[in-house]
Structures are given as C-alpha cells and as structure tokens.
Homo-oligomer: A and B are copies of this chain.
C-alpha cells in the first residue's frame, strides 16, 4: 500500500493514460494539484497568464496530436475565462480535459466570495461534466474521462476537483489498474451503401466533395482526389477547418465561402457529398437569405463519421479503379501580383506561401490575411492549417502555443488579425517563457474589419460617431512591436513586402518566438 494525495492519484491516472501536458492557470484551490505535478514527471506543466490561453493551447495541442492535454483552472470565474476557446475546441471536436478546482466540499455551504455555479458554467461548453469523487474512486472517473474525450470525435470533458479530495491522503495498491484504452470499433461500412454512393457520384454532373474534420488529413485528401479524378468532382473544404493538411503534392481544395449568397453561388445545383463536414449553413442569419444552404435533395447519401470517414473515402475511391477519369474542374487559381513597396493582405499571403517551410503549422485567425492565404496555400510547401472553428475570437495565438508545444521542431506561424489577437494577448508570454518556435504575423489594420464589412453590406455609414467609435481601434493604435517586447517576444514592424520577406526569412531561421507587426491599409 502506498499513501499519496488525491491530486497525485488523479495525475498518475492521467499520466498512465498517456497525458503529457498540463496547461495551467491555478489558484489557491488548485495548489494540491500544482504541488503534485512535481511528482508527475511525465506531465509537463506550462503556465498561461490567462485561462483563455490555456484552453486555446489545449485545443491547438489536440488538433496537432489528436490527444488531450489537461487544463488546470481556478473555480468558476477562472474557468469562465477559458470558455470562449473551449467553444472553439468543441466545434473543432478537439479532445480536451479541464480540471477545474473547487472549494473543499465541506466549505461550499459557506458561500464564500469565490463560490459559484461551476457545474452550470461547465455544462454550457463541455460534452461531459464530472464531479470527481474522493479517493481511489476517482481513478476510474479520470480514465473514463480521457477515453470519452479522445473519441473520435474528440470531446471537451470537465472534471470538478474539490480541494479537500485533492489534498487528502489516499491509501491504494502500488499501481492502480488502468484499463488500456480499447481502440474504438468504427461502425462497419456497408459495401452496398458505398456502392450506391459511388453510383450517385458517377451519375452527378460535376459533383462536390466537401471535406471537413478527419477527412482533411493526407489519407482522406488523397482518397478524395482519386474520387474527384474519376467523377470530375470539385473538392471543397469547410470554411473554417480545425486542422487541414495542405500544399506540397496534396490535392488543391477550394474553400467554402463565408457569406450565404456566395456559398449558394459556389455550390450551385451540384450534388454534394459531405465527408465529415457539416451541412453548409449561413454563419449569421441575414434577412432574405436562408439559414440552411443545401436542401436535403442536393446531398448524396454518405453515412460516415469521424472514425470511419477516411476508410469510407478510400473504399469509395476503390470502387472507381476500373473507371476512366473524367476531366476535373480546375480549382480557382490565385492572382499573382508584382512586388511593391507597400504591404497588402495579398502581399502577405504571397510572401507566406513562398517562404513557408516544409512541415510548418499555420494558426490562422482573422479574414484580413487569412482569406488570401487560404486561397493560395496549395502553392506552398506541405504544411497544416488550423482556423477558428467556433468564431469565438482570441483563438489564434493560444492555438499556436498548443501546436508549438505539440511539435517543438516544427515552425508554427500565427497569421493573426489585430482585433482578435487582443482577447488572449497574454499567449505571447507563454511563447517567450517556453521559447516556442512561433512566428506571429500581426495584421495591423487597427479596425474590426469584419464588422466594417458587414456594416457596409448593410449600407450603414461607418464614419458616423458611435459606429466609428465601436469599430475602429486606431486612436491610439496598439503598438504591437512594444506589446510583444513587453512579454519578452522579440519583435519588429514592417510596412513593405520586401521588409516582410526579409524579416520572415530571418525569423524562420532563429529558434524561439518572434512577432512581426505588419502595417496594413
């Protein structure tokens, strides 16, 4: 029999399930767990100065590795600061395990200042919320939580850890028996269904294969390309993929448009196969435009999920091995522009495509440069792109932190709009603290570009006083170069394509983080 604290029992269970990372912003009620991390050497503790950094980093880590990291957060209000990026993680179907500290169980009735409805807050943004029991009983709960989180599809699981249960001594057998996680059995694919889908694809003129989720990695992409070659299909990817492999010799995908009328024009009357992608819907509701952008009769039946989509695409492609190839609809090509002394979003996209190193991971937030980059990314070397899956802004910098923690030898590029960067700006400190290989490119146009775009579409005068005050962030303009240095990240400001090329090239050849503030119109 060994004696250990409940916190040590919890961490040991997580470590035996393969958890390697704990991204924490602890408070008093989590100190038992902080201390126990000293005796859990296989779990790396990383500090975030704000909880949204922790949850966004856990999301980024999960997108890259497919494995859950732990977050360690302080009671209800601390956890609440992490909700926005958990919303994104959930939309990304990323596995994440939150450990939320709570008061000692016997102290809750006192209603002391930090007492709050943790379970209620967690429920709104978790797939599962579990209040940990005391002693050895929590081992099974932790193991189950991690299996649940891993999916597929990945899930956000929140564990509420009462501080007394973490602090108290637990007597237990030497090594708790951890059931090895059984490989999930995917739903067996029905050969007749696959054949029916294949026939529907062949019959449809220029059908669309819309790829999302697990289908956007190499195997899925190559299978989809084989299908497209035979069926003359267009390959599209979701507008906001969680993790998409791109570039090199991978097939080139069109990106699904953002505004509903653009999506309708893009899809036309084509029959659509959804490969782990959600049915296209309008991002927001606009008067006179539909919410659902594809009627059911436009969809080709294809009953697959994250767990078996890749296998299903390959089986589909195999149906066509004896078919002749149909001419494939050419994807849109990017417009090349000449080099200049100013800097536009298109320049940024072009420079980044040209200089992106093999195996880079791009964390992309904001439309200003994100849109132009995604149009061209197929021309870059082989890389992966993560985007904001849930629309809760402040995802790009933390997601880059998580990716860099997951793959220390890859170059992580964070292509980040300035408005959204503010919500989790504290991520810069963790980049410096952990000396992460992250290059942050800030698109500094000092306005909420998407809001101004929406207002112009609605024919509102964006220069009117209140509207201007609430959509411009240019008086004062945030000095990103100074901000980065304040957090210990070396930085520079550029305002020409040539300076960006030089600074990006240099940043990619140095270890550790760098921030480049790009002055844009």
Question: What are 25 A-B pairs with beta-carbon distances under 8 A?
Answer: A24-B470, A26-B451, A28-B451, A31-B454, A45-B470, A47-B470, A76-B87, A76-B124, A77-B88, A77-B392, A80-B83, A83-B121, A91-B113, A110-B281, A111-B281, A112-B283, A113-B240, A114-B283, A114-B284, A114-B391, A121-B124, A121-B125, A163-B284, A476-B488, A482-B485
Stretch from A187-195, A328-336, A459-467 that touches the partner? A459-467
Is the CB of A104 closer than 8 A to any CB of chain B? yes
* A489 closest partner in B (C-beta): B476
Q: Are A291 and B112 in contact (CB under 8 A)?
A: yes
Instruction: Give the interface of A toward B (CB within 8 A).
Output: 24, 26-29, 31, 34-35, 37-38, 40, 45-47, 49-50, 52, 76-78, 80-81, 83-84, 87-88, 91, 103-104, 106-107, 109-114, 116-117, 120-121, 123-125, 163-164, 167, 240, 281-287, 291-292, 389-392, 394, 419, 422-423, 425-426, 429, 432-433, 450-451, 454-455, 458, 460, 464-467, 469-471, 473, 475-483, 485-488
Among all A-B residue pairs, the 7 with the closest Cβ atoms: A107-B285, A476-B488, A104-B285, A77-B392, A37-B466, A80-B83, A483-B486
Q: In the complex the two chains form, what is the Cα distance from A120 to B121 in whole Å?
A: 7
Minimum CB–CB distance for A99 against chain B, Å: 13
Copies of this polypeptide in the complex: 2
Q: Are B87 and A469 in contact (CB under 8 A)?
A: no
Q: Are B50 and A103 in contact (CB under 8 A)?
A: no
Minimum CB–CB distance for A285 against chain B, Å: 3
Chain B residues lying within 8 Å of A34, measured Cβ to Cβ, are 451, 455, 466-467, 470-471
Q: Are A123 and B120 in contact (CB under 8 A)?
A: yes
14 further A-B pairs in the complex, CB-CB below 8 A; given A34-B455, A37-B466, A77-B84: A29-B284, A35-B460, A47-B469, A50-B422, A52-B81, A76-B87, A83-B121, A104-B285, A113-B283, A429-B476, A433-B475, A476-B488, A478-B488, A479-B487
Chain B residues lying within 8 Å of A35, measured Cβ to Cβ, are 455, 458, 460, 464, 466-467
Interchain CB contact (< 8 A) of A116 among B46, B49, B87: B87
Chain B residues lying within 8 Å of A486, measured Cβ to Cβ, are 478-483, 486
Q: Are B470 and A392 in contact (CB under 8 A)?
A: no
Minimum CB–CB distance for A210 against chain B, Å: 15
Chain B residues lying within 8 Å of A29, measured Cβ to Cβ, are 284
Interchain CB contact (< 8 A) of A487 among B84, B167, B391, B476: B476
* A419 closest partner in B (C-beta): B49
Q: In the complex the two chains form, what is the Cα distance from A117 to B78 in whole Å?
A: 19
Given contacts A83-B77, A478-B429, contact A285 B106 (CB under 8 A): yes
Q: In the complex the two chains form, what is the Cα distance from A172 to B77 in whole Å?
A: 41
* A488 closest partner in B (C-beta): B476
Q: In the complex the two chains form, what is the Cα distance from A208 to B280 in whole Å?
A: 66
Chain B residues lying within 8 Å of A287, measured Cβ to Cβ, are 104, 164, 167
Which interface residue of A38, A123, A465 has the most chain B CB atoms within 10 A?
A: A38
Minimum CB–CB distance for A121 against chain B, Å: 5
Q: Are B392 and A78 in contact (CB under 8 A)?
A: yes
Chain B residues lying within 8 Å of A286, measured Cβ to Cβ, are 104
Interchain CB contact (< 8 A) of A103 among B163, B167, B284: B284
Interchain CB contact (< 8 A) of A425 among B107, B426, B482: B426
Q: In the complex the two chains form, what is the Cα distance from A52 to B289 in whole Å?
A: 33
Given contacts A281-B112, A476-B488, A486-B479, contact A291 B469 (CB under 8 A): no
Minimum CB–CB distance for A108 against chain B, Å: 8
Q: Are A110 and B50 in contact (CB under 8 A)?
A: no
Chain B residues lying within 8 Å of A121, measured Cβ to Cβ, are 83, 121, 124-125
Chain B residues lying within 8 Å of A488, measured Cβ to Cβ, are 476-479
Chain B residues lying within 8 Å of A465, measured Cβ to Cβ, are 38
Q: Are A390 and B31 in contact (CB under 8 A)?
A: no
Q: In the complex the two chains form, what is the Cα distance from A162 to B308 in whole Å?
A: 38
Chain B residues lying within 8 Å of A283, measured Cβ to Cβ, are 112-114
Chain B residues lying within 8 Å of A466, measured Cβ to Cβ, are 34-35, 37-38, 40, 45
Q: Are A80 and B77 in contact (CB under 8 A)?
A: no
Q: In the complex the two chains form, what is the Cα distance from A451 to B24 in whole Å?
A: 13
Q: In the complex the two chains form, what is the Cα distance from A258 to B266 in whole Å?
A: 63
